[in-house]
Amino acid sequence: MLTRRAFLNTAVCVSVAAMAPGFPQNAVAQQYPTKPVRIMVGYAPGGGVDTTARIVAAGLGELWGGTVIVENRPGAAGNVATEVTAKAAPDGYTLVLCNIGTHGITPARFAGKLTYDPIRDFAFPAMIGGVPNVFMVHPSMPAKTLKQFIAYAKANPGKVNFGSSGVGASPHMSIELLKSMTGINIVHVPYKGAAIALSDVISGHIESSVGKQAGGPLGAIKAGRLRALGVTSAKRNVQLPEVPTFAEAAVPGYDVTGWYGICTQSKVPQPILARLNADLNTLMNGPALRKRLEEQGIEVTPSTPEQFVEHVKREIAKWTKVVREAGLAAE
């Protein structure tokens, strides 16, 4: 691993060389990174996005022998961190842990109102993987299954609360879809982060909560502090094989699978984007980082940038339809 002095000396040398006429871009990419890289996270510490970013940052830092910083900028369902990245210098030193919320649901809800274009202003070096949301209730809740919960909610319209990481994020929208498919009326309680919502349902302040399986929910469920009623993905998750999918439990055809990836500014030089893709896929195909991600319930799916951007386009189209039908477009 590079010492701090060697890391800084390399940064100075490469910076000087890069200013010389004709210095090839691929030489810059070979030396990249020559200074600390930051991964922006649009949510508070402790949730699934933050946990995933820290796992990836640790892996990249070890691979590069340098510093990779996770910078939390919570707010506006991930918009703040996403906007910072879109407007950052196009040098590859500002990345963002993009996800179903920032590059699927938010573009659908705020179509025409964002200060950036979710496709045109970003590059998509690599997908990390997919993860379901999990719907949880406090153990005191009388409903033992999702079907029973739906029946309970129908018998008590407007009296059951559910917490999430914030308005418009994937967990919130997954329950809005459940509401539209079942006709239940439960009240959304938005928090500033998934960890805070999780804490309140564990303590019994709210009856139920929904969150990405990555992060805190797994430990709380396995410890019996929460009861998981269902996962939102089309198939069961290997970390919670006993928990049925929504489709199995009560709502045929239901499927919401969250996803994570690394995005950056669109004008980052192609050689650096190629380096990011190669290094990220190397890490995700390696046993150490893959194991850490899978322990969080993430199904690791390395990709090409082309595959990733096509996935993002499909997600925007899907959630635009859901937002329109549910009347959830931002004013």
Beta bridge partners of 98: 261
Determine the pLDDT at residue 22: 45
Determine the pLDDT at residue 11: 44
Determine the pLDDT at residue 327: 80
301 near 127, Cβ under 8 Å? yes
Determine the pLDDT at residue 2: 42
Degrees (nearest 5) of the Cα angle 29, 2, 274?
Answer: 20
Degrees (nearest 5) of the Cα angle 287, 292, 294?
Answer: 90
Amino acid present at 263: C
Work out the angle between the directed axes of helices 48-64 and 270-285 (0-180°, nearest 10): 100
Q: What are the mean pLDDT values of the chain's consecutive 10-residue runs (331 residues total)?
A: 43 44 62 96 88 96 97 88 97 97 93 94 97 94 97 97 87 91 95 88 96 81 95 91 96 93 98 97 95 90 96 94 81 63
CA end-to-end span of the chain = 50
Residue 252 CB contacts under 8 Å (≥ 6 apart), including other chains: none
Sign of the four-CA dihedral 20, 26, 32, 38: positive
197 near 163, Cβ under 8 Å? yes
Determine the pLDDT at residue 261: 98
